């Protein structure tokens, strides 16, 4: 079975400071990993994904994430936070093959608040 853990319910950061939103995962085989962002009353918007190759993935709005296989982590980062980055962030995983390969499994989400 596949699972995702986002250990922080909320992350507060000052505008202009770097931000990190943590994610760890568990799968039987190799993972596809995703980050999505959700604004109030909106659907989830895709930010970035890791499939294979370079462990550092760059995505939308200046976000990036680093895949670390030994630590089974896929933390989301941004060098300089904006107030408009305040939202709910979800990490998701899917196994490359196997019974769960149709399903995206999401973490519980981390609320990011960027303080002006």
Partner 1 sequence: GAGVSQSPRYKVAKRGQDVALRCDPISGHVSLFWYQQALGQGPEFLTYFQNEAQLDKSGLPSDRFFAERPEGSVSTLKIQRTQQEDSAVYLCASSLEAAGLGNIQYFGAGTRLSVL
The binding site for partner 1 (CB under 8 A) comprises 4, 32, 34, 36, 41-46, 49, 51, 90, 92, 94, 96, 101-109
Q: Name which of 7 and 18 has its Cβ closer to partner 1.
A: 7
Q: Name which of 32 and 72 has its Cβ closer to partner 1.
A: 32
Residue corresponding to tokens 């939308």: 60
Q: How far is the CB of 45 from partner 1 (least distance, A)?
A: 7
Q: How far is the CB of 115 from partner 1 (least distance, A)?
A: 22
Residue 28: CB atoms within 10 A of its CB come to 13
Q: Name which of 29 and 79 has its Cβ closer to partner 1.
A: 29
Q: What is the rounded CA–CA span in Å between residue 10 and residue 33?
A: 21
| 27 Cβ neighbours under 8 A, 6+ residues apart | 2, 93, 95
Q: How far is the CB of 34 from partner 1 (least distance, A)?
A: 8
Measure the CA angle with vertex 1, ends 103 and 99; round to 5°.
50
């Amino acid at each position: 079975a596949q699972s995702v853990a986002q250990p922080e319910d909320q992350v507060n950061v000052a505008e202009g400071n770097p931000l990190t939103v943590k994610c760890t995962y568990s799968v039987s085989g190799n993972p596809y990993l995703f980050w999505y962002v959700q604004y109030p009353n909106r659907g989830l918007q895709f930010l970035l994904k890791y499939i294979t190759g370079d462990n550092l993935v760059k995505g939308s709005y200046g976000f990036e994430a680093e895949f670390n296989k030994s630590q089974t982590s896929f933390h989301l980062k941004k060098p300089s936070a904006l107030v408009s980055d305040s939202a709910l962030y979800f990490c998701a995983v899917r196994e490359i093959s196997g019974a769960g390969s149709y399903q995206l499994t999401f973490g519980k989400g981390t609320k990011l608040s960027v303080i002006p």
